[in-house]
Structure 1
């Protein structure tokens, strides 16, 4: 019923690795993409659909669930697993990133963050202790420390202040965390300043956590900066614990991060693209509303074995989109989630067979140079 991480294989040429993260509600085979279910549901997809895509761990969000329906209701239902009908592992974000996105509506102090709810205008105060209380009530397997996510671009002074405050808040999170059946992951911040990232990673690595995360990427910086940050920071985190890169889910970024030793990923990309009528096929994004699909009676991807590709044609999904039928979003979400999970499964298998660089070498080529301070 506890937590453990077992390494099964490592790449001879990179820092890529294969492992199994054990949680009270099951395992996560790494490296692995994790679908995002912000409000205790992965948009348009049922838990049964999710299982069929190969999903193992999914995400929910502390900030959004606090606003609606409230952690008291989730707790009264028996916790997130029972509330949303998902019996596998769940991770909850702390709400830090969502508070960051409310930059015009919030005030940050040493105590915490005060903001106006975009839902009803209510004044809400989030502190490290409050985030822990809410996440303890929600009952996810993995919970995240409350952090301050600096924007991009930001001055060194601004990023230094946010990074230092995140570390002080982390101590308060550990002190407030009350449940032994939930793993608390610290988060490395530091913006694009590699020395600040290094200092934060070294400080966090001294803490006896069940896993560690890198946050504050994919907040507007170019991909080549993300690559440099992850490559420099990941090896500083304990190798015998899972490493989680927050908010990243593109093919190239995942391959680059896995080569640096990252194990876990999440992103809203698959369901967001689906709601815009787009399918992920072979690394490309297809707009299935385009006229070329209206008489195309082949699967989205003949090499894909997801429910959508086994059952329906491009023409049918195109028809649903043009008719504004909600089923289109479900079918595209199923395929897109399955595609990203299948991609990380292929990477996992390539590491196990010692073919990671051979099979994914093109994704490992560096982007054009960018300045990192």
Structure 2
């Protein structure tokens, strides 16, 4: 008997691959999504009785493809439509040639078409490749869920109305789509880092493919280094109860040294080229953290200089918040709190968590408790909420 978690695991692992394969065959985003969702709905009905098949991905893709062919045949009103269904059913159709051979990476490049608004490209690709819900993507973008839903609707309509083809991008198309592609890969990684490790593994895999495809692009190298250095800390990021352990409190002997070594080597390699971009600078920040044997040995002065550089290259409220954390270590929590109070980040729980910590350090426990409560209400994962509840309890314990 297949348990629901087995189906959920298959969905997380195979949704993006199945959609990308179906898009290649069908050339229709809506039909591909519906066919894959249909296949998973069938799995929910049948796998508890028949068991999870030996190749869940193959089963889902085959089932989805058959559903799509059946639908095309049912809706066929012309011989050409029927012929299209027959062509799609043929198992030996020649593969499309082009520089991008991986189906999922190819779909990312395809969705990052310049005709789509940048944020719509990223949101749509996250929906297709990661199988992420509208709520998850909205949280990643720090926007209300209805706003994100409208972006997805508009992106799909633009593709349909403009007749944007789903085909392998030409070599000349790759550079202008790279920023969107990198943003998608990093958001997939971030979503996995607070939830499903399989998404992190997929993002790293895509990063390695990109590095092989475009080896002279230093920002690809920077992104890959950034993901490896962050992923290296995963074993220390939660305690035995599943509660989040923040970076300063982590047991550093649990970090994966082989990933740190590879990430640091990539950082050195891309920074030699000069004028680093945002992913390279963020990777350098994480390299400094990974250099320190203890939290107390962290070179916060260097990290602050890197954040100054990042603010000059790619300023944003989130970067400013991270910079404020470094300011707290170099110049004290009072100066950092002044900076944080100038930021507008809406419902971003990290802002409240940082503010709570600064207020705690300034011996203002009542205000800190309110900020911890706000962060708890906005946090996206139970591991984060558990950590924040623990910090709030520590305030009360320290006051007694």
Whether TM-score is above 0.5 comes out as no
CA radius of gyration, larger in: 2
Give the TM-score taking structure 2 as reference length. Answer: 0.27
Which structure shows the bigger proportion of residues in strand conformation? 1
Which structure shows the bigger proportion of residues in helix conformation? 2
Give the TM-score taking structure 1 as reference length. Answer: 0.29
Higher RCO, Cα 8 Å, sep 6+: 1
